Amino acid sequence: MKFQFPKGFYWGAATSAHQVEGGNHNDWSEWEKENAERLAKEAEKKFSHLKNWQEIKEQAQNPQNYISGRACDHYNRFEEDFDIAKSLSHNVHRFSIEWSRIEPEEGKFNEIEIEHYRNVIKALRGRDIEPFVTLWHWTIPIWMRDKGGVINKYFPNYFSRYAERMAQELPDVKFWITLNEPTAVISMAYGIGEWPPQRRNPLAALKVYKTLARSHNDAFKKIHTVSPKANVGFVNILSFIEPYKKNSILDKLTARITKYFSNEKFLNLTKWNHDFLAVDYYFHNRLQFPGKMKNENKKVSDMGWELYPEGIYYVLKDLKKCEKPIYITENGLADAGDIHREWFIKETLKNVYKAIQEGVDVRGYFYWSLLDNFEWDKGFWPRFGLVEIDYKTMERKIRPSAYEYAKIIKNNGF
Ligand code: IFM
């Protein structure tokens, strides 16, 4: 075996509530209804450059594609899905709790929904799969949206009250993730302004850094008060950012500033409050002043994202100085034909292995995602799953790469 991982390494996959459960009612589900027609009309302009445009065209131009609806019906089929994860030898699974189910009205917690997530955890434990539980994977209850959502200065109070309640209700959870990829929301909702509430405003974006950082910090403390031994962190989406020309001062400055806002600022604002670092790795940004992407794009996913597995090595090396255990809580690609997935997972793992050999304390890897799912404003056509979903019949079909990943897991390496 060439790439033998440390004993006890966690191997699995991740999902998020809104993307797989179905039947959610939150700020996103409302936004989808209002924007589906527009997104379908814009599809050609946005995606016709993709090599697979002919294959996705019909779906991408259909407004229904942009409605999460029943998604994968995972809410009702989680047992079946965890059977699949078990059959693929996963020993860990990351999922999220849907806040809008738990607290559909301000201050009123729904016991039935709490019980649902208790059962989800039980189902994982019953299969010897360790749960990593995310409390906020972007969607918010309607009442919170009506108060302004994440920009409301009291958002941290509401969020940490919910987090505390969850810690009380689910005391055996060992790994809590407060927030998923806060900087993705900051940039997509408040920077670029494409996601709800589509507020393109740099000052608002700066404010949201603060409200979300406080949300994490407050939740971190509250969860620890309830469960002193729990491990609590937030998920940071970290890109490998480099200047296009190594000797250009302006390119270097562009890369430096981008790196600060996307990789470092949030971590600095939450500095003392992590038991572990959680990293989602997808992007390589080779930047030319004043912000042009100059990636080589030798291989790209179905969404046109560059496949650059070697970047994870640099991201991990950068985190070594934090001296905390690291979990790769997401890494994956949209690849409907399952052409690159096995290669991508293996290349990524080689680079993770290299970082571990150089002293970085990486303890787990979660492929994104266990299932094909609802990819936010792109809808259902991007296929990230180890398991393919037929959205008409809800049939699950394991992709060949998932079996290759299972072999790696069984051998704790390859
Ligand atoms: O689907 C998303 C997920 O919700 C957060 N991380 C990135 C994934 C792929 O875009």
Map residue 51 onto helix, strand or coil. coil
Q: How far is the CA of 280 from the centre of ligand 1 (A)?
A: 9
Residue of 113, 330, 375, 404 with catalytic role? 330
Is residue 1 in a domain?
Answer: no
Q: Is residue 5 part of a domain?
A: no
Q: How far apart are the first and last CA of the chain?
A: 5
Does residue 396 sit in helix, strand or coil?
strand
The answer to whether 160 and 123 are in contact (CB under 8 A) is no
> Which residues on neighbouring strands pair with residue 29, listed in sequence order?
none
pTM confidence score? 0.98
The verdict on residue 169 lying in a domain is yes
Nearest to 186 by CA among 176, 170, 197, 178: 197
Please tell me what DSSP assigns to residue 5. Answer: P
Residue 197's CATH number: 3.20.20.80
Please tell me the predicted confidence (pLDDT) of residue 38.
Answer: 98
Instruction: Supply the residue whose CA is at minimum distance from atom 9 of ligand 1.
Output: 375
Structure confidence at residue 117 (pLDDT): 99
Domain assignment present for 3? no
**Side chain identity, residue 69:** G
- Identify the burial level of 68 via C-beta atoms within 10 angstroms of its C-beta, where 0-12 means exposed, 13-18 middle and 19 or more buried: buried
Ligand 1 close to Cβ of residue 372 (< 6 A): no
Name the residue of 368, 371, 377, 384 to mutate for ligand 1: max ligand atoms within 8 A of Cβ.
368
Q: Where are the alpha helices (DSSP H) in 48-92?
A: 53-60, 74-87
Domain holding 198, by residue range, is 10-411
Calpha distance 57→154 (Å, rounded)? 42
Residue 1: the pLDDT is 82
Ligand 1 nearest atom to the CA of residue 332, by list position: 9
CA 163 centroid distance within chain:
18
Give the angle subtended at the CA of 169 by the CAs of 163 and 173, to the nearest 5°: 80
Q: How far is the CA of 178 from the centre of ligand 1 (A)?
A: 16
Q: Residue 71: what pLDDT?
A: 98
| CA 328 to ligand 1 center in whole angstroms | 13
Active site residue 330: yes
In a domain, 371, yes or no: yes
256: Cβ contacts below 8 Å, ≥ 6 apart:
none
Answer whether residue 46 is part of any domain: yes
Closest of 222, 322, 311 to residue 268, by C-alpha: 322
Count how many domains the chain has: 1
In this structure, is residue 4 part of a structural domain? no
Q: Which residues are 233's β-sheet partners?
A: 177
Tens-digit pLDDT profile for the chain (414 aa)? 899 999 999 999 999 999 999 999 999 999 999 999 999 999 999 999 999 999 999 999 999 999 999 999 999 999 999 999 999 999 999 999 999 999 999 999 999 999 999 999 999 999 999 999 999 999 999 999 999 999 999 999 999 999 999 999 999 999 999 999 999 999 999 999 999 999 999 999 999 999 999 999 999 999 999 999 999 999 999 999 999 999 999 999 999 999 999 999 999 999 999 999 999 999 999 999 999 999 999 999 999 999 999 999 999 999 999 999 999 999 999 999 999 999 999 999 999 999 999 999 999 999 999 999 999 999 999 999 999 999 999 999 999 999 999 999 999 999
Counting ligand 1 atoms within 8 A of each CB, the residue from 96, 333, 375, 378 with the most, and so the one to mutate, is 375
The dihedral of CA 220, 13, 17, 372: what is its sign?
positive
CA distance linking residue 348 with residue 281, whole number of Å:
10
369 domain-assigned: yes
